[in-house]
A and B are shown apart, each in its own frame.
Chain A
Amino acid sequence: MKKGQFARIAFFAFALVWILPLVLLLLSAFRPLQELRKGFFHLGGVWTPGNFQLAFDEGVKSYFLNSVLITAGGVLVPFAAGACAAYAIAFYSFTFRKPFYLLLLSTMVLPIQLILIPLFGTLRTLHLMNSFWGVIFVHGAFGLGFSVFHFVNFFKNVPRELLEAATVDGASIYQIFLRVALPLSLPAIVSYLGLQGIWVWNDLLVSFTFLTSPEKHPLTVGLVNLQSPHFPRWEVVSAGAFLSILPPLFIFSFLQRAYTRALFEGSVRG
């Protein structure tokens, strides 16, 4: 077992190296800039939350709130639209059911760049330029395929007898959806909210393109603004970056399993 011991130690060292970028982020988020400038191995200096205060002064607080709002909308809209459509697709038959499903799924494969340019005009016509709703609807449309796919896959495993029993009891199709199908799919809902939430929270491109005024920017765009290439204030940017990765890390640690399953559904988008 000596060989195994060596492999373990080597892997442990590898893991330490792997995580160093995150350590570097901690070092620069929690210490004054002049300490950071002394080099990576200089660990001295006071560890203070002062950089976060600086970051808040630079608008990170409002960036954070905007991120929360955009994420909430960008998750709920495709969830509502997708779960309804998935319910119809999974349990009922209608004309053009299959083509409709495949069309929705296409949003999962094609890149967002395909729709980005004309959306500029569409959003302007609808007066949704520089508005959270515009960004939310774009996330809604682009996230639709994943949402429908996720819920159809889940609904497929719901026993049809349950629905038929409810119908016999006189429940309407709406009641069955709200009282039977949705409560049964709670695990699927939770994992969907988490996965889509991380996706929207981490998005740069949509918000950057369609939100023009800085007071509406979410964290990702805010970080890019702060990280001006000519005069980078590393301590401020690092504090902001640190704040921005906390929520997704938190959600992710809960949803590790769901992540794996979703990956096997083939539902990774980009």
Chain B
Amino acid sequence: MKKVSLLPFLLPALFLFLLFYAYPAIQTFAGAFFKWDLLSHERQFVWFSNFVSLVHSDRFLHAFKNTILWAVCFPALSLAFGFFISLFFYFYKPPFFLRILFLLPMAISLTAGGILWTLVYNPDFGFVNTVLDALSLSFLKKGWLSDPGVVNYSLIVSGVWLWCGFVVLILSAGLAGISREIIEAARLDGASGITLVYRVIFPLLRNPFVVAAGTSLMTALKMFDLVFTMTRGGPGHSSEVAALLLWRQAFEFGQAGEAAATAVILSSVIFLCSIPYLRRVVAE
């Protein structure tokens, strides 16, 4: 084709990318090594002292521990439920309305979903405690969002509910690619139930599983909206996660340098975790 200037096609994207993405990202990396005040925009180079003070801060360590809890439980539960649901879809072909029930929550914002689940957990009229009362299991009643020992798990469960549809979609698409003949052949060879799932279906679904696990893990590591809506990180700081602490450091405590350091750590973790997933996606 004739040589023409492509610049008009590239400029808008380049402009957006450089001004609103690349430049801020570089500033964050640099800012992690400065004592930095967002309002006065004063900066003072302090080497690694932001990272050092983070490592010595109980609040940071606690938030990071919560993020790790999310990173372990959230993908595990999402994959377990998602796999179960998509297996059922595959073998029993439920009617459309039943399928859509499981997919709808993923279109709901984490904010609206958070409000929904605050209602579910409400100690007075919420669903969980009312049902426990009705089953005469009142001794199991808890302040699901006010008990520091339970709050993280309550949040994770609501997150899984909102997210699971994604996993179901990914795994269902993967299952749809497995030919029925393979399943039939395995059945004829005497594989049934658990063996069939574990020995035949599971290995065939490796790629979709990596994609589902990767996206779930990244979602868990970045979690902000849900925690902010439901508990604001409380009670105390007991449900605070890294993404929320980072926001507070920058916009509430005026410690943009430490926030930048947290952002760099969090982004590095996310990037490292996404490598196996990225390789899979790029390979396709």
Asked if B20 and A122 make an inter-chain contact with CB atoms under 8 angstroms apart, the answer reads yes
Interface size on B, residues (CB 8 A): 94
Segment of A34-42, A54-62, A183-191 in the binding face: A34-42
- Assess whether A70 is interfacial by the CB under 8 Å rule: no
Residue of A nearest to B158 (CB): A21
- Assess whether A244 is interfacial by the CB under 8 Å rule: yes
Asked if B16 and A141 make an inter-chain contact with CB atoms under 8 angstroms apart, the answer reads yes
CB distance from B242 to the nearest CB of A (A): 9
Asked if A263 and B115 make an inter-chain contact with CB atoms under 8 angstroms apart, the answer reads no
Asked if A251 and B115 make an inter-chain contact with CB atoms under 8 angstroms apart, the answer reads no
CA distance A155 to B15 in the complex (A): 22
Interface size on A, residues (CB 8 A): 96
Q: Count chain A CB atoms within 10 A of each CB in B2, B24, B28, B234 and give the residue with the most.
A: B24
CB distance from B282 to the nearest CB of A (A): 8
Contact of A245 among B4, B109, B172, B278 (CB under 8 A): B109
Asked if A264 and B2 make an inter-chain contact with CB atoms under 8 angstroms apart, the answer reads no
Proximity bits, B1-37, A CB within 8 Å = 1, else 0: 1101010111011111101111111011001000000
Residues of B within 8 A of A112 (CB): 222
Asked if A266 and B13 make an inter-chain contact with CB atoms under 8 angstroms apart, the answer reads no
Asked if B28 and A115 make an inter-chain contact with CB atoms under 8 angstroms apart, the answer reads yes
- Assess whether A49 is interfacial by the CB under 8 Å rule: no
> 11 additional contacts, CB 8 Å, given A117-B259, A253-B100?
A15-B101, A20-B127, A24-B126, A81-B12, A84-B10, A122-B23, A204-B111, A205-B247, A264-B211, A265-B281, A268-B219
Proximity bits, A142-165, B CB within 8 Å = 1, else 0: 101000100000000000000110
- Assess whether A66 is interfacial by the CB under 8 Å rule: no
- Assess whether A47 is interfacial by the CB under 8 Å rule: no
Which 3 interchain pairs have the tightest Cβ spacing? A266-B281, A202-B109, A141-B20
